Chains A and B, each alone.
Chain A
Amino acid sequence: AQSVAQPEDQVNVAEGNPLTVKCTYSVSGNPYLFWYVQYPNRGLQFLLKYITGDNLVKGSYGFEAEFNKSQTSFHLKKPSALVSDSALYFCAVRAWGNTPLVFGKGTRLSVIA
Chain B
Amino acid sequence: GAVVSQHPSRVICKSGTSVKIECRSLDFQATTMFWYRQFPKQSLMLMATSNEGSKATYEQGVEKDKFLINHASLTLSTLTVTSAHPEDSSFYICSAPQGEKLFFGSGTQLSVL
The answer to whether A binds B is yes
The chain A residues found within 8 Å of chain B, CB to CB, are 32, 34, 41-44, 46, 49, 51, 90, 94, 96, 98-106
Docked Cα-Cα span, A30 to B96, in Å, equals 20
A46 nearest in chain B by CB position? B104
Beyond A44-B44, A94-B102, 5 additional pairs, beta carbon < 8 A: A46-B104, A90-B44, A101-B95, A101-B102, A103-B43
Docked Cα-Cα span, A33 to B104, in Å, equals 15
Number of interface residues of B (CB under 8 A): 21
Q: Are B97 and A43 in contact (CB under 8 A)?
A: no
Q: Which residues of A contact B34 (CB under 8 A)?
A: 100-101
**Chain B nearest CB: distance from A72 CB in Å?**
19
**Chain A nearest CB: distance from B49 CB in Å?**
6
Q: Is B79 an interface residue (CB 8 A)?
A: no
Q: Are B32 and A98 in contact (CB under 8 A)?
A: yes
B34 nearest in chain A by CB position? A100
Name A104's contact: one of B36, B43, B101, B109 (CB within 8 Å). Answer: B43
Interface of A is mostly: loop
**Chain A nearest CB: distance from B50 CB in Å?**
11
Given contacts A32-B100, A98-B32, contact A43 B105 (CB under 8 A): yes
The chain B residues found within 8 Å of chain A, CB to CB, are 31-32, 34, 36, 42-46, 49, 93, 95, 97, 100-102, 104-107, 109
Q: Are B31 and A43 in contact (CB under 8 A)?
A: no
Q: Are A105 and B102 in contact (CB under 8 A)?
A: no
Docked Cα-Cα span, A43 to B104, in Å, equals 8
Closest 8 CB pairs of A and B: A43-B107, A98-B32, A100-B34, A43-B106, A105-B43, A103-B44, A103-B43, A100-B46
Q: Which residues of B contact A42 (CB under 8 A)?
A: 106-107
Given contacts A51-B100, A96-B100, contact A105 B42 (CB under 8 A): yes
A91 nearest in chain B by CB position? B43
Docked Cα-Cα span, A103 to B91, in Å, equals 15
Docked Cα-Cα span, A41 to B42, in Å, equals 13
A100 nearest in chain B by CB position? B34
